[in-house]
Every structure is written in C-alpha cells, then in structure tokens.
Amino acid sequence: AYLDDSLEYVDIEKLRKYLPSLLDSIEMISSESLDADQKLGLFIHIASSINRSLSKEKSPINHKREQIFTKYESLTKDIARLFKPVERSFGIIVNDDEIANIVCIIKKL
C-alpha cells in the first residue's frame, strides 16, 4: 500500500510479479543470507529505482562503482543478468550505479 501511494510511474502488479523472485534470485547468487531489513531495503530500493527510471529522473551516482565492479565482478554481472526480465517488462535499463547500490545493500558496504 505504501509503494502504491508513493510510486507514481510503476505498475504495482508488475512489481508483485517480478520483485519477489528477483530478490530470491539475488539472495541465491550472492551467497549471502539477507536479513529482513536487507530484503525490505532491496525491495524498496529496486521499486524506487524503477519508478525513477520510468519518470526519466537520474539515478544517484555511486562513487565506489568502479571499485565494486572490480571487487565483485561476478556478482555484478549476475545481478545485471537477473534484471533483464525486469528491464524488458518495465521498458527500462538498470544502470551500473544501481547495480553497485544493490551490491552495497547486499554486502552491507
């Protein structure tokens, strides 16, 4: 209900369809056990990111992006791959800053 009220550009039904399995897949490939706060944080972050992209608003820059992509090369590639169905469904592109932000949430950086 909170997201439905605050996400102006996102189809909430699509979020309900894609995000739970996306989060499960992210947890599986990250080899991290995500706590409830991390899962909620990821859900809200990803939903907000999709909304931002649909509204043509710029994503926040992750100044550690290059370091994150170097240190977690495999994880960042896997996360980018997992986002392909979401990108197709919502008609967006998830940029490298967003991928880096997701890794920061997962790895508690």
Residue 44 in contact with residue 68, Cβ under 8 Å?
no
Closest by CA to 107, choosing from 20, 59, 15, 42, is 42
Global confidence as pTM: 0.86
Q: What is the pLDDT of residues 76-89, one digit of tens each?
A: 999 999 999 999 99
pLDDT digits (tens, 9 = 90+) for 49-60: 999 999 998 888
Give CA–CA dist 109/103, Å, rounded.
8
Least Cα distance to 55 among 63, 47, 44 occurs for 47
**pLDDT for res 96:** 95
1 has a pLDDT exceeding 70: no
Distance CA 102, CA 107 (A): 9
User: What average pLDDT does this structure show over 61-79?
Assistant: 95
